[in-house]
């Protein structure tokens, strides 16, 4: 590690995309100096193997149907005008609007979020 620090100090003015190869390591220069490329590659592989979930899902569009119906019934919100079998953009926005009315307490937010994570993990 000390050799890498010394090399970084000696070659600090070199372009950021420099590569240093030796018998033991291939080093890539990044923002913080040179790093062991094999460690970066291992980290990349590890991250790539992690299970993924959708990072851009609207909570209001991911509520379980059973939870949605339960909350609507509990709150007395009318949904008879929504055709759940023929959803278009207008209908989707109506569902989002109702969902935002349903998710207005911490306990409901916690419940819905937990259920979404459970559903995505399957």
What phi and psi, each to the nearest 5 degrees, are found at residue 32?
A: -100, 15
Q: Are strands 26-30 and 19-21 parallel, antiparallel or unpaired?
A: antiparallel
In a domain, 54, yes or no: no
- Whether the pTM exceeds 0.75: the reply is no
Q: Are residues 24 and 68 in the same domain?
A: no
For 91, the domain range is 59-121
Q: Are residues 11 and 39 in the same domain?
A: yes
Q: What is the mean pLDDT of the chain?
A: 79
Beta strands in the chain (DSSP E): 19-21, 26-30, 33-36
In a domain, 40, yes or no: yes
Q: State how far the Cα of 29 lies from the Cα of 36, in Å rounded to an integer.
A: 9
Question: Which position has the token pair 């009318």?
Answer: 78
For 12-49, what is each residue's pLDDT tens digit? 555 444 444 444 555 555 556 666 777 778 888 888 88
For 66-95, what is each residue's pLDDT tens digit? 999 999 999 999 999 999 899 999 999 999
In a domain, 98, yes or no: yes
For 92-104, what is each residue's pLDDT tens digit? 999 999 999 999 9
What phi and psi, each to the nearest 5 degrees, are found at residue 42?
A: -65, -40
Q: Are residues 67 and 21 in the same domain?
A: no
In a domain, 30, yes or no: yes
Sorted by sequence, the CB contacts under 8 Å of residue 39 that are 6+ apart come out as none
Confidence (pLDDT) at 1: 52
């Amino acid at each position: 590690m000390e050799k890498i620090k010394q090399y970084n100090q000696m070659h600090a003015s070199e372009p950021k995309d420099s590569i240093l190869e030796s018998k033991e390591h291939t080093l890539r220069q990044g923002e913080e100096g040179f790093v062991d490329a094999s460690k970066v590659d291992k980290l990349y592989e590890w991250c790539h193997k992690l299970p993924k979930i959708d990072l851009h899902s609207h909570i209001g569009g991911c509520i379980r149907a059973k939870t949605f119906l339960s909350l609507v019934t509990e709150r007395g919100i009318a949904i008879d005008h929504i055709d759940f079998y023929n959803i278009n953009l207008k209908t989707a926005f109506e569902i989002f609007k109702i969902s935002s009315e349903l998710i207005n307490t911490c306990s409901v937010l916690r419940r819905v979020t937990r259920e979404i994570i459970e559903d995505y993990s399957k």
